[in-house]
Amino acid sequence: MIASDRLQEARELCERQRHVEPGGSFYDFWLQRLDGKTGARDQAGDFRFQPRWRELRAEFDRNPYQVGPKRAPEGDLREALDEVKRAIPFKGDIYLPTERIPEPEQLTGLQRVLDLVTPENRRASKARFDALRRHMGRTGKRRVFVIGNGPSLKRTDLRLLRGEITIGFNGIFLHEDFVPTIYVVEDHLVAEDRVREIHAYDCPVKIFPSYLGYVIEPQPNTIYLNHVSRISYPVDADFTVDAGDLSYTGGTVTYTGLQIAASLGFEEIILVGVDASYSVHNVDRSTAYGTGVLTSKSDDVNHFDPRYFGSGYRWHDPNVNVMLQAYRKARDYASKAGIRIHNATIGGELEVFPRVDFHQLFPDHVAYPRCGIIDFTSVNKLSATGAIKKSLFAGWSRASLLHVHSDKIANICAFQSVENDQYPVGTNEESIWPALRAAIEFAPQVLYVRPTLDRPQMTAFQLLLPLLLDRPYVIHYMDDWIEKARLTSAPEVARFQKSLMSSFFSCGSAVLSICDKMSKMLVDRYGTLESRTHAIHNFIRSEAPARRTATQSAGVRTIRYFGGIEPDMGLKTLVSVARQVDSINERKALPFELRFEITTSQYSIKRCGAQFESFKSTSVGEQVPDEGEYYQALANSDLNLICYNFDDRTLAYVSHSMANKLPDLIASGAPFLAIGHPGVATTELLAEHGFPFMLDREDFDLEPMLREIFFPSPEILEKYVAATGLLKQEFGEEKNRFAFHRILRRVAEDDSQSWRSLDGALPLLTRFLATLDPQPAYLGDLRCLVSLAAMDRAFIDAVLARVRGHGLRWSVRGMHKELIRKIKSPADLQQAPQGLQAEAVAFLICGLGHERYEDVCGIVRGWLSTDAVNGAEIERGQESCYA
């Protein structure tokens, strides 16, 4: 149905069958593709309508396979089956049907194999392969990517391979973002277990050994190879560069892919996702087919998708040594033939071929699109949000990052490597122009924004940048501060903030949350699209951040808490912990003394630190400036804490939030205890995973839990180990950092221009700015930016072009002299040609609004503030904004 473009009919079939047939995952899989919820088709392009593939298909049609209709035998079925098995040239059980294929189908299938190996059909295969080789030559491509299916693919953004020639294997159809150019299967277990997916898989070319013809029927884009056992067995492997005539097995389908790649004439073959390592457990073993056969009893851990060889699927017992021997033969043969084979797998154990960095194979702007990080906390600040940004952007090219932050409420700063590397020191004091100029000159391809309640002027700047730069953005919502604003801010201000954020959410190319619970809230409350809403949070890094080194005194146990101590987060619970620690020590209830150490920000200490002064066993200190010291302190704790209050106000604020430090606690190796309302997302997640160390009542008793933690029973210890094991999967890099990188790359290519609809929020933003208290010194300049954002796109682009030409085609000093001659007042600028107006605005931006140029800057500000400039544009959007 798909191949003949009967897409609606295919969709209806999947809808019906997914509810009827027990193996519904097949229909769920294709329904997801047909509904457009995955990016695979976008990744490959709709090749059926590309001229070059139509031409190749036409060549295939001129060389059809001659396979006649098959009939059941008149005599004994078993005798007929034995006779046809003797007749086919492939000997060995691994080339024959298994008992899962009914005998009548085995017979008709093997009769088809006999047809496929006739001289006529071998000539058809040769002609088709030669046509494919000629087609590959016409593409002008000199390299081909051979894609394995190892777990490293979870760390690999295969969208980068768009436009490349690729070869994929077996269960690659499970990948949501990738369709290979050439699809290969050589294993009869895979062919039998996945035949429906294989037939339905929509890709340019499919290549199979002719011995699989008993289960995989010919299709218009199929090539059957004369694929045989290695003739040098058992002492060596065999390799060919004429796979259209003859090819050899080698213990792994990847080896077949290497022969195909070499035979198609490519000069460079790049391996991706070939991990060459396996973990075999929880399987049933058999030698029924002449070799070791495994049947999985649980999810697959050896491939990129747990469904690959998931429960019930069969696979051959992997022999890595045989694979490596075959790879060595491929390396040596290719070297003599002048073919380069490189390994671009991210990680893995394959060291036969020289390694290359996967991302270095592509231009920087493709592998690492320029990203502007617009957030009030600096990525270098040792805070929860600073740490998560640093972790998420780890591995991204630093040359492709611009950081814009507002650690101090009076300033908006920008830097790439170190502070003040974009403009002279001090020019950003109470000014937005230096940060704006840096952003324009940097020309980001994508913006990452995190609006917050604490920096409303930064929220305004974040909303204006996508409009001014005309770039897509990712918005990251880490805690439900809109709900906090409803409880703590003036009603009008809270309404403005909620409306602005609604616009932010609806116009973003991707909306990131901190957990699945928050994602659901964003979809339900703000109508964000499920396909654009993703949970991305902090994660456990692949390298251990710290190891336990301190030798604790036998008479002391140290309990540590790292984080905020705000009244609407965990203050009341922390005070209760401090009080109970003192009581336990006074009563000598435990065979050691407890020390409770709270490490928090200087701001929190000033606000709430005094509440702990009366507790003898508790100390409050300022957060350590070094990340390594933080991880070491976690590792050397006897117990770490997560704490939330139990009141309704706290629950309203943090119920959808995930503790950013939770992955750090899991990775530290030290035990941790979670105290807080059971409705908080963090405590919910821990409970779902069976985590044993939790106190979820406001009248919690700390002492019994401490006994359980410090003197655990075998059963409790087993629960703790099992729960933390599951949590390590939840907080893995694959689901977070690498997924985040894929999202950034995808958003950088978004051409929907959805962000332009933010102009409907400009009237609301104007009113919101009037509510700021205290008002920043640069409030007037923010209003100027609102006016600029409301102008015609062509005018804004003219301004951006002039800013980017500063220092190359013009100078601030020279432009100052020219402008001071031409304009004396805002009215003069209003009557000036648009080109001069654009030059004046560019001068304001590039001159950083410096007081030295105030004579001209004041005129430009005055012009941008006039009703003649912005009134009509802003008012036009007001009705739709409040609709």
| 235-277 pLDDT tens trace | 889 999 999 999 999 999 999 999 999 999 999 999 999 999 9
> Cα 514–516–522 angle (5° rounding)?
80
Q: Is 21 exposed, middle or buried, given 0-12, 13-18 or 19+ CB atoms closer than 10 A?
A: exposed
Q: Which helix (H) or strand (E) segment is 333 a member of?
A: helix 320-336
Give the pairing of strands 143-147 and 268-272.
Answer: parallel
Quote the CA–CA distance of 437 and 412 in Å, as a whole number. Answer: 12
Residue type, 45: G
Residue type, 779: L
How far out from the chain centre does Cα 880 lie? 34
Q: What is the pLDDT of residue 18?
A: 65
DSSP-derived letter for residue 429 is T
Q: What is the pLDDT of residue 409?
A: 81
Q: What is the pLDDT of residue 838?
A: 97
Contact 631, 546 (CB under 8 A): yes
Work out the number of other CB atoms within 10 angstroms of the CB of residue 864.
24
DSSP-derived letter for residue 185 is -
CA distances from 868 to 830, 831, 862, 864 (A): 8, 11, 11, 9
Q: What is the pLDDT of residue 289?
A: 72
Give the pairing of strands 143-147 and 283-286.
Answer: unpaired
| Cα Rg of the chain (Å, integer) | 32
Q: What is the pLDDT of residue 5?
A: 62
* CA dihedral sign, ordered 88, 90, 91, 97: negative
* CA dihedral sign, ordered 560, 566, 569, 570: positive
* CA dihedral sign, ordered 815, 817, 822, 827: positive
**Tokens representing 408?**
């101090």
Question: Coil, strand, or helix at residue 424?
Answer: coil
Q: What is the pLDDT of residue 19?
A: 63
Q: What is the pLDDT of residue 15?
A: 72
The pLDDT tens digits for 573-615 are 999 999 999 999 999 999 999 999 999 988 899 999 999 999 9
Q: What are phi and psi of 429, to 5 degrees?
A: -65, 115
Complete DSSP assignment for 245-280: T-EE--SSHHHHHHHHHHHTT-SEEEEES-------
Dihedral (Cα; 757, 763, 764, 765), 10-degree rounding:
90
Quote the CA–CA distance of 257 and 253 in Å, as a whole number. Answer: 6
Quote the CA–CA distance of 646 and 573 in Å, as a whole number. Answer: 8
Q: What is the pLDDT of residue 872?
A: 46
Q: Which helix (H) or strand (E) segment is 559 a member of?
A: strand 556-562
Q: What is the pLDDT of residue 878?
A: 43
Quote the CA–CA distance of 91 and 95 in Å, as a whole number. Answer: 7
* 412: CB partners within 8 A, 6+ apart: 404, 405, 406, 428, 431, 432, 434, 435, 457, 458, 461, 778
Work out the number of other CB atoms within 10 angstroms of the CB of residue 92.
11
- Helix (H), strand (E) counts: the chain: 36, 25
- Can you give the pTM of this predicted structure? 0.87
How far out from the chain centre does Cα 22 lie? 31
Quote the CA–CA distance of 559 and 583 in Å, as a whole number. Answer: 15
- Ranges of the chain with pLDDT below 50: 22-23, 37-39, 41-45, 48-49, 872-873, 875-883
